[in-house]
Amino acid sequence: MAHEDSGAVSERTRFEWVAWAFTLAVALMLLWMAGSRFQNVHQRTFDLGFYGRLAWGLAEFDGWDPLQNAHVLGLHVSPILIPLGWLGRIFGTIPVLLTAQVLAVAGAALVLGRLASRHMGPMGHLIGPIAFLAHPNLTHVTTYEFHPGTLAVLPLAWALDRLDAGDSKGVARGAIGILLCREDLALVVLMLAVLVAWPARPWRKSGRRPLEWRRGIQLAVGALCYLALFAFVLHPTFAPKDGPFQAHFGHLGADPNEAVDNLLANPLRAFAHVGHDKLTWLPRVLAPLAFLPLVAPRLALPALPVLAIAFFSAFPTTVNLDSHYLTLAIPPLIAAALVGAGHIRKRLPAPIGDIAPFGLAAAAMIGWAVAGQTPAAADFEADRETVARRIVLDAIPEGASVQAPGPFLPHLVERTRLHRGWKTDSGADFVVLDLWSRERYGGREVMLRTSEEPYIRNWFASDDFGVVERAGRYVLLERGRDPRGGIAREYIVGEGRERAGRRLTECLSLVGAERTSETTVALELHANGPCPADLGLRIDDRVELLFDGLLSPTHLRAGDRLRSEHRSSEAVLHLSMLRSSGARPLHEDPSEVLVTVGHSTSGP
C-alpha cells in the first residue's frame, strides 16, 4: 500500500514538474512576444497606453487622467495599478505591466491544473495549463495590450479552484483579488457568491449549507455594494463626458436610465444589432474547449456576465477571439471544461474515457494553431513602421507634453501631460500626426476630400506649429516653431520681388521644371501671396499636394521662390490647380498648363 502511495505521489510530482516547465516555457514566449511588440511600436489598441498612464499617474499620486480628461475614479477603480505603478518607477511602467499580465496568466494556468487534477488524476496538472494557455484569446491579449481585467484571471482561477475544493474562505480571498483589478468585475464575484451559496453536493450530505449560504450572501452583498458605489456615486461624479457606455450600448440609449426604459418598452431592441458574427461567436469560443463546458456547466456560471456584456455590446471587436472583453470568461469556461472532461473520463471505461482529457488538450492546441498568436507573426519584427515611429519618438524631449496617436502612447506614458488624437488641439508642446490617409489615397483627387484631411490641413495651416521631424507617414509638430522654418524651410529656395513665370492660379506661378530621377520632377514655383489651405496640384493624371503637404499654402508670401517635387516620368507635364471641391481655385485660372521638363516657362 505504501509502495502504491509512493508511486502515485511520484506520478503526480512528475506531471507537476512537466506542467511547471510547460507553463514557464509559454510564459517566456509570451513575455518575449509582448516585449518585442512594444519595442517595435506595434501596439494597435488604446489600452496599453491608457492603463500605463493611469499606473504611472497613481504612482505619482496624480489621480487625473489626461487621456480621458477625467479623474481616475470616474473611469475604473483598479487599485492593483498602484503597486504596479510603484514598481514601474524602478523597472519602467510598461515592462512591469506586461510582465505582471503574463505572470497572472501563467499562475492561473497552474491553479487550473490543480483543479483539473481532482477530476482526472495527476495528468490534470498538465491538461489544465495546456487547455488554458493554448486558448487563442490568451496568446493575443497578453501580447498586444494590457488590461487589469486580464490580471484578474489569477484570483478568478484561485476562486474557482477553492470553490471546487469546497473552501468558501478561499473563494472570498479570490473575490477580493478580482475586485482589486476592476470594479465592474463585481458581477463575476456575484456569480461566485451564487455558487458558494449553492454547493455542488446536496447540503444534507455535506452538512455545510448554513455556513456556505451565509458566506455566499455576504460575498454577494459586498460585491453589489462595491459596484453600486462606483455606478451611482463615483462614476456620475467623476465620469468623462463621453464614456464607454455610448461606445458599447449607445444603440440602446444615451445613458443607462434611457437604455432601461427603451428595453422595457421594446426588449427586442437588445437584439437589433445581432448578426452572423454574434450568432457564431459563442461556438467559436467553445470550439477550442471541445464544447466540454456544456457537459458540466456549473463552474462556467461566473463567465455569464462577461459573455452577456460582450454579446449585447455593439462595439465591433467584442466578437473577436482576440478581444480582452472575452478574457475573463476563459477561466470559468476552462474550469467547466476540465470538470466535464473528468466526468466523461470517470463514467466511461478505459481507455475510451481517457480520450476526453487528451481531446480537450488537442482541441486547445488546434484552436491556437488556427486562431492564436504565434511568435512568427509580423508584429514581433521591426519594419519600416517601427523605424518611422522610433525616429519620431526619439525627437520628442523627455518629459515634454505630447499629443499622439494610439501606437505612440505606451512609449510616452511617463509624463504629466499626454493626450490622444489629432482632431483638436489639446495644448501639448508636441503633436504627432499620422498622415495615413494621404499615404493611402495619394495621387487620387479623393485625397483632398477625406474626412481626415481638413483636420490635417488645419494643423499645418496653424501659425502656432512648425514641423520638426518627418518619418514615413508620421510628422512631429512643435508648438512655438515658425511654420515656415525647420523642414518646411527646405521648400523655400529664395525670394524675388516681381511676379515671375506662368500663372497657375492667382497666388502661384510656374517658373520651370527639371527632372531629378526617372520618376520624379521638381517644379520651380513663384508665390504671389498666401494660397488656400486646400490647394492641390493635378500633374498629368495624378493629384498631389504641394511641398509634400508639409508647408501649408497659407504660409506662402509674395516673392517666395519655391521647389516642389512630384511623381512623373513624362517629358511634357500637364499641370493645373484645384481645390478640395475639385474645381479650379478661380474661374479665370488656366484649365491646363503645359511645360517641358528641363525648360523654364516664358512670359507671365
**Residue 18 pLDDT more than 80?**
yes
**Residue 179 pLDDT more than 90?**
yes
Element (H, E) at 431: strand 430-434
Other CB atoms within 10 Å distance of the CB of residue 233: 11
* pLDDT attached to residue 216: 87
- Residues 6 or more apart whose CB falls under 8 angstroms from that of 13 comprise none
Closest CA to 323 of 294, 353, 285: 285
* pLDDT attached to residue 428: 97
Residues 55/152, Cβ–Cβ less than 8 Å: no
SS3 content of the chain, % helix, strand, coil (to 5): 55, 15, 30
User: Binning pLDDT at 50, 70 and 90, where does residue 246 land?
Assistant: low
Greater model confidence, 444 or 353? 444
Greater model confidence, 257 or 587? 587
Summarised one tens digit per residue, pLDDT across range 142-177 is: 998 899 999 999 999 999 999 999 898 999 999 999
351 phi, psi to nearest 5 deg: -90, 5
Residues 85/62, Cβ–Cβ less than 8 Å: no
**Residue 248 pLDDT more than 70?**
no
Percentage of residues of the chain with pLDDT beyond 70: 89
* pLDDT attached to residue 2: 44
User: Binning pLDDT at 50, 70 and 90, where does residue 258 land?
Assistant: low
* pLDDT attached to residue 429: 97
What rounded mean pLDDT belongs to the chain?
A: 89
User: Binning pLDDT at 50, 70 and 90, where does residue 261 land?
Assistant: low
* pLDDT attached to residue 51: 96
Which cell is 150 given?
486580464
- Residues 6 or more apart whose CB falls under 8 angstroms from that of 468 comprise 395, 430, 476, 477, 478, 481, 486, 487
Greater model confidence, 134 or 11? 134
User: Binning pLDDT at 50, 70 and 90, where does residue 441 land?
Assistant: very high
593 forms beta bridges with: 575
d(CA 379, CA 458): 32
Please state the rounded mean pLDDT for residues 48-53.
95
**Residue 3 pLDDT more than 60?**
no
Which cell is 259 given?
437604455
Q: What is the DSSP letter of 424?
A: S
Q: What is the DSSP letter of 582?
A: S
d(CA 58, CA 136): 32
- Domains of the chain listed by start with CATH number: 2-379 (no CATH), 384-483 (no CATH), 487-596 (2.60.40)
Half-sphere exposure (Cβ direction) of 19: Cα atoms closer than 13 Å: 29
**Residue 509 pLDDT more than 70?**
yes
Closest CA to 561 of 485, 482, 490, 469: 490
Please state the rounded mean pLDDT for residues 191-213.
69
Other CB atoms within 10 Å distance of the CB of residue 384: 10
Summarised one tens digit per residue, pLDDT across range 530-565 is: 999 999 999 999 999 999 999 999 999 999 999 999
Closest CA to 191 of 337, 340, 77, 300: 300
* pLDDT attached to residue 378: 86
Please state the rounded mean pLDDT for residues 41-62.
92
Q: What ranges make up the beta strands (E) of 436-592?
A: 465-471, 474-479, 492-495, 502-505, 508-517, 520-527, 536-539, 542-544, 560-567, 572-578
**Residue 250 pLDDT more than 60?**
no
> Based on the number of CB atoms within 10 Å of its own CB, is 237 exposed (0-12), middle (13-18) or buried (19 or more)?
exposed
Residues 156/182, Cβ–Cβ less than 8 Å: no
* pLDDT attached to residue 518: 92
d(CA 600, CA 579): 25
Amino acid identity at 272: A
* pLDDT attached to residue 602: 45
What are the b/e assignments for 84-113, b being 16+ CB within 10 Å? Answer: bbebbeeebbbbbbbbbbbebbbbbbbbbb
Give just the sign of the alpha carbon dihedral 434, 435, 439, 445. Answer: positive
* pLDDT attached to residue 268: 62
Which cell is 341 given?
472532461
* pLDDT attached to residue 604: 40
* pLDDT attached to residue 1: 43
**Residue 80 pLDDT more than 60?**
yes
Please state the rounded mean pLDDT for residues 227-239.
84
* pLDDT attached to residue 4: 47
Which residue, chain included where needed, has cell 494621404?
A: 438
**Four-CA torsion 24, 29, 34, 40, nearest 10 degrees:** 150
d(CA 427, CA 430): 9
